[in-house]
Structure 1
Amino acid sequence: MESDLENFRQQWQQEILQQGQQNQDLKDVNVSIITNKQKDTINLENSTLIPLIEESKNDGLINSFRNTILDLLPLNPIKKIHISKLPNELIICILKQLILTGDVNSLENGFALVCKKFFLLSRDSSIWHLLCEKFYCNNVNNHKELIQLCVNAHGNDLRRMYIERPRVRLDGVYISKCKYLRPGLAENTWIQPIHLVTYYRYIRLFSDGSCITLLTTKEPSNVVKNFDKFVHMLKISKKFKNFMIGYWKVIKNDDDTDDISRKNQVIIEANDKDLPKFTFNLKFDLKSTSIGKFNKLSWIEYYSVNNLTTEKIELLLKNENNFYFSKVKSYDVNL
């Protein structure tokens, strides 16, 4: 009897343990299911938020670039490039900047002699077209007239036109040095002093047809630097007297005449701010010398016209000398 009872108890305890184990297994399964569902939910939420976060980051990055100044720098700044590797268009642009300083001699006798490629580039028509426009702009009314003149008189060769056709020099100053004797004040009858007076005339011509003239006793070293820019005219007028602003033009006389020098004339009309009633007219022969072409202005006529009465008054040229051109490296033709 007691043994049966003991067996029943042991069997009952085993059943209870088995039941508890089954309940625990069910609980673990439920927890695992819940955990997996939570992970799926979190992953779903994260997959939805990640594109939004990335998009906001991209917007912020783009906005930060809007006000950023980027400098284009070479990958290897120390590495040098040979000029022959530059595109022809870029070399021509460099040559145009060179000739605008008035240094055409370096183009012809320097750059063009290096190699065949540079020789051909120095003959590019756009370079000589730019030069002709600068030097002959005020002698023609428009671009078509300039081209027509080149075709008719110079065989459609702009370089030939620049070399043959008379032109004034724009890369420097025309200077005339004049002297005359003036009796001085005698302290007694035994001494009669005589003063040698030296003065200078300066003419600076610009590519737009304007010009400035100056009469002064100051030497070129003290005056030439003030003619470097057209915008400084007011500054010069305050510093010097006998300062005039005017316009110039070149007249090519193709009529048959025995005097060849009279075929090319430069005419200047200028006004003095201290004498507003008068217009001063200066007429010169444009000549060449052994030093260079078109570097001499010989006097023909000098007179003034009364703007109110149109009266013409001839001015004496007794003490006046011819003008000779002086090149100034700091001057720019493109003014």
Structure 2
Amino acid sequence: MEDNAELESFRREWREEVFRRSKPRSTPRAAQAAPSAPPPTRLPPTRHALVDRKDLEEEGPPPTSFDPEELAQQVGELRVQPEEEVDGDGFTRRDTIEPSTALEHFERAVEKEAAGKLGDSLQHYRKAYRLDAAVDKQYRNKHYAHVWKKPAQPPTDQPSTVSVTAPAPAEAEILSTPELIASFAHLPIAQADPIIENTPPPPCPISKVPSEVIVEILHYVGLQDPAAFGRMALVCKRFAYHFAHEQQLWRRICQSPEFGFEGMHYTFACDLHGHPIFTLSGTRYTPFPIDTPVEIPKPFFSWSEVFQSYPRIRFTGCYISTVNYTREGAASSFQTVSWNSPIHIVTYYRYLRFYPDGSVVSLLSTTEPVDVVPYISKENMMAARATHKKGHQRQISDVGQTLSGAADPVPPVAQAALKYGRRGRWRLTSPDPIPESEDQPEQTPSHNEPSTDPRDVVIETEGVDHKYVYTMLMTLRSTSSTKLDVNPAKNTKLTWRGFWSYNKLTDDWAEFGLRNDRAFVFRRVRGWGLS
């Protein structure tokens, strides 16, 4: 009996020691911070030890105390996670409940787009807009309503100075925009705010100048830079009144050769190489001559509207057309599956720079605008073509014309693109009939009727060979208006109407396809002009 008791006691102690060794021990923080020693080499357990360990695993660890409320809370948080809810990167997403409303689809599309899954995002965007075309407004009102809220006025202890007999806002008179601007006629030019608090404001000498002198100042500003003339209307209400009502200023701007219609050409003024063409009469047609009284053309009602909307070419920047198209690439020799063939996105640009003398520079290149637009000029183009014909690259010491016209080296990237530039000429379609003796014969397709739209622009450039002439028929349009831009910019877009190639030797016409070509959009370049 004593031997059995000692044997049972030994077995119980041995089992507790084995269980204690098999249970992971909690390491103190100090021990975690210290560098751990390499684990000792252990041999595999014997057959008896495996049997005993199996018995221990079947019996399980000794029962421990637990909190019933904590256990119930943990059980309530358990859920079965579907396999498709786990991303490949190891992160767990929230429950993917299929959206039902347009707003839910839009929110899910935003999440997919932020995660880089553009295909799934596009599907949710399409579903959202099918359900509600104005779902983007709902999304902004829900998530960005705080951005549009006006800041609350801080409370003040001072009594209100508004009279009790003041009319309510609904009873106040609402003025139209012309009536509101007309009310600024007799307002003084307000002084600027003080630069430093509790100091007198800076002097404003122009506030004491008579209206006749102010109008004369605005006259010179408008002839030098119409854009600056427009910005002056934002200075004060008095300037805004003169900007809107002094129509003689706008008429003079329309008749100016720098920015007005005196500088427009309705017949070709030069040949393809830029050499001027002299007419028999010696005068050039203009719709608004200075010495002849001219009425405002219909359907316009003011000279400011004529200057902003009447067709005219801009010389202070470059017209750029960005073309993107996709084409299939060749399959790799290691890949025999057709669906694994690459798809290439090809991007190229067309550039048009117009000159007041009737000449134009046309360029087709894959070089981005930031690298080539500042150097597009007739001088740089001819220099690049000359060096290309000689068969050597332009040296760094060679100079070209920069934005300001000063001599400066042209980068090799721009030089490599400009050697493919083409010289040409341009003209607008006259709104009035012009005598044939004053019009220079041009290369136009015989199967097309002459255009009578005053917004049309005819451009002729050199071809790839001296026997070819390229003819472009473009039309002036305005940029698309948006809700934020009530007054879109006028005459800032050139859209295609036709593109032909003329063979001077065989007298044949060939039309180019315009499947991938896009409209030209005007971009102002600093240094090329003021407007």
TM-score of the aligned structures, taking structure 1 as reference length: 0.60
| Equivalence for 2:264 | 136
| Equivalence for 2:252 | 126
| Equivalence for 1:280 | 470
Distance in 2, matches of 1:253 and 1:116, equals 32
The gaps in structure 2 that reach 5 residues or longer are 1-202, 269-282, 389-414, 434-451, 482-487
| Equivalence for 2:502 | 305
> What is the one-letter code of the residue matched to 1:172?
G
Residues 300-324 of structure 1 show CA distances to partners (whole Å, capped at 9, x for unaligned) of: 1101101222211111111211112
CA apart distance, 1:183: 2.8
Q: Are 2:382 and 1:234 aligned?
A: yes
| Equivalence for 1:162 | 307
1:223 to 372, 389, 414: 372
Give the 3 Å change call, closer, same or farther, for CA 206–280 of structure 1 in structure 2.
Answer: same
CA apart distance, 1:205: 1.5
CA apart distance, 1:113: 5.2
**Larger Cα-atom Rg:** 1
> What is the one-letter code of the residue matched to 1:192?
S
Distance in 1, matches of 2:237 and 2:472, equals 39
2:230 to 105, 118, 125: 105
1:114 to 231, 239, 242: 239
Query: Which structure is richer in relative contact order (CA contacts within 8 A, separation 6 or more)?
Result: 1
Distance in 1, matches of 2:431 and 2:287, equals 17
CA apart distance, 1:195: 1.6
Distance in 2, matches of 1:251 and 1:109, equals 35
2:428 to 250, 267, 280: 250
1:187 to 332, 341, 344: 332
Give the 3 Å change call, closer, same or farther, for CA 152–226 of structure 1 in structure 2.
Answer: same
Give the 3 Å change call, closer, same or farther, for CA 152–122 of structure 1 in structure 2.
Answer: closer
Matched-pair contact (CA < 8 Å) for 1:288–1:295: yes
Distance in 1, matches of 2:432 and 2:205, equals 48
Residues 96-116 of structure 1 show CA distances to partners (whole Å, capped at 9, x for unaligned) of: 2223xx655335555895376
| Equivalence for 1:146 | 288
Distance in 2, matches of 1:97 and 1:126, equals 12
Q: Secondary structure at 1:249's aligned position in 2?
A: strand
> What is the one-letter code of the residue matched to 1:183?
E
Q: Secondary structure at 2:523's aligned position in 1?
A: strand
| Equivalence for 1:210 | 359
CA apart distance, 1:185: 2.9
1:268 to 417, 436, 459: 459
Residues 179-228 of structure 1 show CA distances to partners (whole Å, capped at 9, x for unaligned) of: 2223323223224222211101111122222111111111111121113x
> What is the one-letter code of the residue matched to 1:302?
F
Distance in 2, matches of 1:137 and 1:254, equals 13
> What is the one-letter code of the residue matched to 1:106?
R
> What is the one-letter code of the residue matched to 2:524?
K
Give the 3 Å change call, closer, same or farther, for CA 185–251 of structure 1 in structure 2.
Answer: same
Residues 40-99 of structure 1 show CA distances to partners (whole Å, capped at 9, x for unaligned) of: xxxxxxxxxxxxxxxxxxxxxxxxxxxxxxxxxxxxxxxx99567696767644542223
| Equivalence for 2:491 | 294
Which has the larger share of helix? 1
CA apart distance, 1:326: 1.6
CA apart distance, 1:168: 2.4
> What is the one-letter code of the residue matched to 2:466?
P
Give the 3 Å change call, closer, same or farther, for CA 288–145 of structure 1 in structure 2.
Answer: closer
Matched-pair contact (CA < 8 Å) for 2:255–2:261: yes
Distance in 1, matches of 2:495 and 2:454, equals 13
> What is the one-letter code of the residue matched to 2:320?
I
1:172 to 317, 322, 335: 317
Distance in 2, matches of 1:96 and 1:133, equals 13
CA apart distance, 1:167: 1.5
Give the 3 Å change call, closer, same or farther, for CA 206–275 of structure 1 in structure 2.
Answer: same
Say which is worse superposed, 150-159 or 236-245, in terms of deviation: 150-159
Give the 3 Å change call, closer, same or farther, for CA 271–81 of structure 1 in structure 2.
Answer: farther
Matched-pair contact (CA < 8 Å) for 1:129–1:158: no
Distance in 1, matches of 2:430 and 2:383, equals 34
Distance in 2, matches of 1:243 and 1:295, equals 22
Say which is worse superposed, 131-140 or 80-89, in terms of deviation: 80-89
> What is the one-letter code of the residue matched to 2:477?
K
Distance in 2, matches of 1:104 and 1:171, equals 16
CA apart distance, 1:117: 6.8
TM-score of the aligned structures, taking structure 2 as reference length: 0.40
Matched-pair contact (CA < 8 Å) for 2:309–2:490: no
Give the 3 Å change call, closer, same or farther, for CA 319–248 of structure 1 in structure 2.
Answer: same
Distance in 2, matches of 1:178 and 1:107, equals 37
> What is the one-letter code of the residue matched to 2:516?
N
Give the 3 Å change call, closer, same or farther, for CA 288–113 of structure 1 in structure 2.
Answer: farther
Matched-pair contact (CA < 8 Å) for 2:462–2:469: yes
Distance in 2, matches of 1:122 and 1:109, equals 18
The gaps in structure 1 that reach 5 residues or longer are 1-79, 256-260
CA apart distance, 1:163: 2.9
Matched-pair contact (CA < 8 Å) for 2:328–2:343: yes
Say which is worse superposed, 187-196 or 172-181, in terms of deviation: 187-196
Matched-pair contact (CA < 8 Å) for 1:128–1:162: yes
> What is the one-letter code of the residue matched to 1:307?
K
Which has the larger share of strand? 1
Distance in 2, matches of 1:165 and 1:98, equals 18
